[in-house]
Amino acid sequence: MKTRRAALILSAVSLPLIAFAAPAVHAQGIMRTPNLNVGARTPSINPTITPRINPGIAARPSVSADRVARTPPSRIGTMSSTLRVRPGAGVPSTLPHARFSPNLHPACQNAFRGPDGECFDRPVMSAGGGNGASAKKGSGGSRNNNTQAAVDLRAVRNELVAEIDGALSTAEADELARRHGLERIASQSFPLLGGTIGLFRIVDNRPVDTVRRELAADGSVRSVQLNFRHFLQDQKRAPVEGDAAQYAVAQLRLPQAHALVRGMNVTIAVIDSGVDVKHPELANSVADSFDALGSKEGPHVHGTGIAGAIVAHAKLMGSAPEARLIAIRAFGAGSKGAESTSYVILRGLDYAAEHGAQIINMSFAGPKDPLIERGIAATAARGILMVAAAGNAGAKSSPLYPAANPNVIAVSGTDAQQKLFAASNRGNHIAISAPGADIFLPAPDEKYQITSGTSFSAAYISGVAALMLERNPALKPADIRAILTKSARDLGTPGRDDQFGAGEADAFAAVIAAAAAPAVPLASGSGKPTGEKTPALDPSVDNASVSRALNDSQPSIASDKSAANAAKQPAAQ
């Protein structure tokens, strides 16, 4: 009874206090609601709680991304499938990237990327004894394997190129090879380098680095390196028949430039794949040929297209239709498309320099190659202009060579809308741009092709340089580079940029500026020359060579040849 009375008294005293405390308890319950509400664990967050989120946590978007990734398996499968078919670097998905050689991929994942940024057709870890998962763990050994595997993929397996004592006889060179467990494949004197270069193959299973160190230590050896691979920079499409409008002709203002010069008496060496010298577009244009491969392969679509971009003169029009070509076959069929090596390309460079080339077109790309770098330096020392394709590895690629060499004019690609060709490489080494997307060119067996690549951008620039040299034979390579860049049409970001360099080439403006150089500052060639007018077609001037006028029919593009040539053609025949 005493206990009951105490309880009743306590209840009576506490009742007022409970009445006043109820709102505080209810409010505290609201504050705890987010901790108890299961809905708060979903990716969507209650907006009423947003103000209470710490601003410092805002830099963690990966949290919500992780939650999205933990959706049911069916959704994950759909997501990954969509990502696999996305075209890289803006290249249309209709292009068969899987069929391109490694350096032609517009973009690739880290597992497929080599130490110099180039893309390969399989994970670089495959040759290093690892896999993608181990690569992500960040162990030093995995990174080393990754680099070595990439080197293995970009060089010919078990081959070394070495500069050896030029006094060695063939028998002594073979003995040198035997001492180091090698087979001498070839060796020759290279006047361009002033030395003898040998190509050797490892005949056992010793690591390449071990053999390279041992060979380099021999007193008869000056230097040793891998025999690197280089790839042509085109994106293949099936050859087509018929004629087509060449947007590049108008875009480069070639008709206006050809009213003044057409590249006559200028020699351009094309280090490429085989050229179909019998194609009507190339008739009487190939003055010399050299097969650095020593192969029996026939004409190739890439080499024929490059030659056409420079000297085509029948249905189509090249940038320098009266130039002389030295067709050097240095690229042959390989597992990933037409490819070449350090030793073979050096043979091509040496031949071009020794046989009067004034311009050398190099529409290929690869890693930085010490032997080719030496050849380029020696070529530049002789006053020969070199032009190279920037490459088709896309925005994520590091600079490719030889375009990235400072002695070479690096050319990126544009399309018909004067936008950057999607697969074109970028970088501060890009000097200038030229059309490279959907270019209409000759193909072997009197056929034609529509193709893309910075290869053809470089070829157009080589032809424009030939026009400038005909206009002013005293021009040096530095003069030509300066005039080309100062007379270019600015594209993209105002001023020089990493996509277009100085802009897209303007053949007519460059030819006009070349006539005044170097008597006046090169700045006079900047932009459109003051008072520039398209020259009238002078009936007394014949820009066609004698052999062309006697043997060839009139080009179908009438505006690309003077009225005088059209009038004289029937009489000459």
pLDDT tens, 181-239?
Answer: 999 999 999 999 999 999 999 999 899 999 999 999 999 999 999 999 998 887 655 44
CATH of 155-228, one of 3.40.50.970, 3.30.70.60, 3.40.630.10, 3.30.380.10: 3.30.70.60
Q: Is the pLDDT score of 71 beyond 80? A: no
Residue 320 CA to residue 274 CA, distance in Å, equals 20
pLDDT at res. 9: 58
Which pLDDT value is given to residue 297? 85
Distance of alpha carbon 183 from alpha carbon 199, whole angstroms: 9
* DSSP 8-state symbol, 525: G
CA gap 278, 446 in Å, rounded: 8
Tell me which of 97, 258, 302, 313 is the catalytic residue.
302
According to DSSP, residue 150 is labeled: H
Distant-in-sequence contacts of 415-419, Cβ < 8 A, 24+ apart: 416/247, 416/251, 418/251, 418/491, 418/504
Give the strand pairing for 267-272 and 195-202. Answer: unpaired
CB 322 within 8 A of CB 257: no
- Separation of alpha carbons 226 and 201, rounded Å: 10
Q: Which entry of 273, 342, 455, 545 is annotated as an active-site residue?
A: 455
| pLDDT value of residue 451 | 94
**247-515, which class in CATH?**
alpha beta
| Annotation marks residue 553 as catalytic | no
Q: Quick: pLDDT tens for 391-422.
A: 999 999 999 999 999 999 999 999 999 999 99
Domain boundaries, the chain: 155-228, 247-515
Indicate if 230 belongs to the active site: no
Calculate the average pLDDT of the chain. 74
* The pLDDT of residue 152: 56
Q: Residue 56 pLDDT > 70, yes or no? A: no
For β-strands 182-190 and 195-202, DSSP reports them as antiparallel
249-285: pLDDT as tens digits: 999 999 999 999 999 999 999 999 999 999 999 999 9
CA–CA–CA angle 247, 252, 255 (5° rounding): 85
Long-range CB contacts for residues 89-92, cutoff 8 Å, separation at least 24: 89/394, 89/395, 89/396, 89/422, 89/423, 90/422, 91/394, 91/422, 91/423, 92/422
DSSP letter, residue 359: E
Tens-digit pLDDT profile for residues 443-489: 999 999 999 999 999 999 999 999 999 999 999 999 999 999 999 99
| Cα separation, 295 vs 274, whole angstroms | 10
Tokens representing residue 106 in the block: 């517009």
**How is the beta sheet containing 409-414 ordered, strand by strand?**
286-291, 324-329, 267-272, 359-362, 385-389, 409-414, 430-435
Tell me which of 116, 152, 234, 272 is the catalytic residue.
272
Active site residue 455: yes
The span from the CA of 179 to the CA of 313, in Å, is: 55
